[in-house]
Amino acid sequence: MSELALVLDFGGQYKELIAGMVRALSVYSEIRPGDMTVEEIKGLNPIGIILTGGPNSVYLPGSPKCDPAIFKLGIPVLGICYGMHMMCQLLGGEVAPGGIGEYGRVYVTPGELSSKLFRGAKEPFAALMNHRDAVKNLPEGFQTTASTPACIAACENASQNLYGVQFHPEVKHTAGGREIIQRFLYDICGAAGDYKLNDYMDTQIKKIRQKIGGQKVLLALSGGVDSSVCAGLLSKAVPGQLTCIFVDHGFMRLNEGDAIERVFSKGNLQFIRVNAQERFLCKLRGVTEPEKKRKLIGEEFIRVFEEEAAKLGNIPFLAQGTIYPDIVESGGKHGATIKSHHNVGGLPENLAFAEVVEPLSGLFKDEVRILGKKLGLPASLVKRQPFPGPGLAIRVMGSVTEDKLDIIRRADAILREELDGYKSKPDQYFAVLTDTRSVGVKGDDRTYDPVIAVRAVTTGDFMTCEYAPLPHRVLRRISSRITSEIQAVSRVVYDITSKPPATVEWE
Ligand code: XMP
């Protein structure tokens, strides 16, 4: 069993980044609810505890709190942002609104006192801040170890192994943030670093073999990273026993369905492609409301999958590419549904299978990608950008038709061709076919065609994003290729909105 670093969740949007960074530093981590009791924590025997940030103010009634006995366990604790406020308040310090607050990149200056977290660094460093409240008075036994002109940026009671940082070491905008987490784990918690992805893979292969024995297993394969890696792992564990059903709903990108078929039909598995384009288009005819489109596609997917599975006779096991964040999110207490996410493969519980196998349910996305690489899957699959389950149907605004899909497929292929090889590639990019038409002129003819929007964003976790500041020459080339290579388009616009307030996808 690996050592465990526990990440206690107080609603912070970066909790998965924290836990992912800890694992990337070879220490196994799990995210658990912030109100876990101290007895439950003792049962898990963690080597360290990290308290996440969160959207609340500690002095408001009802704001989430950890069990204060945590601080007496002798287990090192690192409180981040809200986590630091909560620790300081529960131990007798004072937190108050900090005036205008600090948002974005701020310079933090380590203090005179040498802290294990900063290992003697004296130079100011850039850190991501996102707070209005600040610690005003430290609890007894604590000292300030770093500051900004506006706040106590870090504090500690080293003899009790209690540490707090106001900034977010887990995000890439904090210089040396990863090293701060590393020092907490290794210099303060005394981690040995015994978590290895290879061990996870070997353990899962053994478990799959034990569970499935000589029987058959079925997987809904979407061609996305999770279901593809799941297929790779299963066909390594139980070669010849896996059947994959790929429901092609017709909303895939240019040649994507064929590429998926090519990769998986030569593997050690039975691959069934169901060409259901007509069926899905028919369901969506005249439907314009985004949520309705998403729901209809999700439901139709399940119908098709059920019908195909029934044709295969009795297969006792159903595999799913569920990953750790899916589990954390579904157990989470915070957040509103902005869009219903339809993951192809997210099947209902009442399907007639004896058992479900979810071999990736302990892994973060980055780890799934590494595992995919180890399993020999092509980079085009493993490094694939997120692609929504409903596919291009939610990148065509309003009603979906074959003609519109053809336009968006070609525009999207041009955009990808231009950006795939670009050196500062945004994290996600795609084209959207808007339902606005505009007047243009091509040759001597007046046109009145739909407008294509280009979306390109930088993001760490896709929960928030900034639009990518693509150079004008790149934008010009994209626009010129789309309008000259696609007869039906004479105007291209660039989406310059961040999330929030916009979302990444348009629908
Ligand atoms: P939004 O539009 O919610 O998107 O800001 C955040 C990220 O999620 C992807 N996305 C989806 N992924 N099923 C998925 O698996 C979906 O239904 C879905 N909708 C959005 C989106 O591409 C972005 O990366």
CA distance 294 to 343: 10
Comparing 201 with 172, the larger pLDDT belongs to: 201
pLDDT at 6 over 50: yes
pLDDT at 345 over 50: no
pLDDT band at 325 (very low <50, low <70, confident <90, very high): confident
Residue 503 in contact with ligand 1 by CB distance below 6 A: yes
For 16, residues 6+ apart whose C-beta sits below 8 A from its C-beta are 31, 325, 328, 364, 461
Mean per-residue pLDDT for 49-78? 96
Let me know: does 401 contact 364? Beta carbons within 8 Å: no
Residue 450 in contact with ligand 1 by CB distance below 6 A: no
Residue 499 in contact with ligand 1 by CB distance below 6 A: yes
Whole-Å CA distances, 258 to 114, 218, 223, 280: 59, 21, 10, 18
Residue 505 in contact with ligand 1 by CB distance below 6 A: yes
Active-site residue (options: 3, 16, 81, 244): 81
Let me know: does 340 contact 294? Beta carbons within 8 Å: yes
Active-site residue (options: 3, 66, 85, 168): 168
Residue 389 in contact with ligand 1 by CB distance below 6 A: yes
Q: Please write the tens of the pLDDT for every residue from 458-493.
A: 987 677 788 999 999 999 999 999 999 999 999 999
pLDDT at 336: 42
pLDDT band at 120 (very low <50, low <70, confident <90, very high): confident
CA distance 22 to 229: 22
Mean per-residue pLDDT for 412-438? 95
Q: Which residue CA neighbors atom 14 of ligand 1 most closely?
A: 388
pLDDT at 334: 41
Q: Which atom number of ligand 1 is nearest to the Cα of residue 341?
A: 17
CA distance 507 to 504: 9
pLDDT at 349: 61
Q: Which of 114-123, 243-252, 339-348, 352-361 has the highest mean pLDDT?
A: 243-252
Q: Is the dihedral of CA 163, 165, 166, 168 positive or negative?
A: negative
Say how many Å lie between the CA of residue 252 and the centre of ligand 1.
15
pLDDT at 98: 74
pLDDT at 105: 86
pLDDT at 149 over 90: yes
On the question of a cis peptide bond just before residue 169, with omega within 30 degrees of 0, the verdict is no
**Is 16 part of the annotated catalytic residue set?**
no
Nearest to 390 by CA among 318, 500, 287: 287
pLDDT at 248 over 90: yes
Active-site residue (options: 16, 156, 170, 300): 170
Residue 119 in contact with ligand 1 by CB distance below 6 A: no
Comparing 17 with 481, the larger pLDDT belongs to: 481
pLDDT at 335 over 50: no
Say how many Å lie between the CA of residue 340 and the centre of ligand 1.
9
Mean per-residue pLDDT for 297-326? 91
Say how many Å lie between the CA of residue 396 and the centre of ligand 1.
15
- Which contiguous run of DSSP H or E holds residue 260? helix 256-265
- The proportion of the chain whose per-residue pLDDT surpasses 70, expressed as a percent, equals 94
Q: Which atom number of ligand 1 is nearest to the Cα of residue 394?
A: 19
pLDDT at 163: 98
**Is 81 part of the annotated catalytic residue set?**
yes
pLDDT band at 122 (very low <50, low <70, confident <90, very high): confident
Residue 288 in contact with ligand 1 by CB distance below 6 A: no
Mean per-residue pLDDT for 30-56? 96
pLDDT at 351 over 70: no
**Is 308 part of the annotated catalytic residue set?**
no
Residue 462 in contact with ligand 1 by CB distance below 6 A: yes
Let me know: does 500 contact 466? Beta carbons within 8 Å: no
- Which of 296, 385, 462, 467 maximizes ligand 1 atoms within 8 Å of its Cβ, making it the mutation to test the pocket? 462
Q: Please write the tens of the pLDDT for every residue from 190-228.
A: 999 999 999 999 999 999 999 999 999 999 999 899 999
Q: Which atom number of ligand 1 is nearest to the Cα of residue 385?
A: 24
Q: What is the mean pLDDT of the chain?
A: 92
pLDDT at 347: 60
CA distance 285 to 202: 47
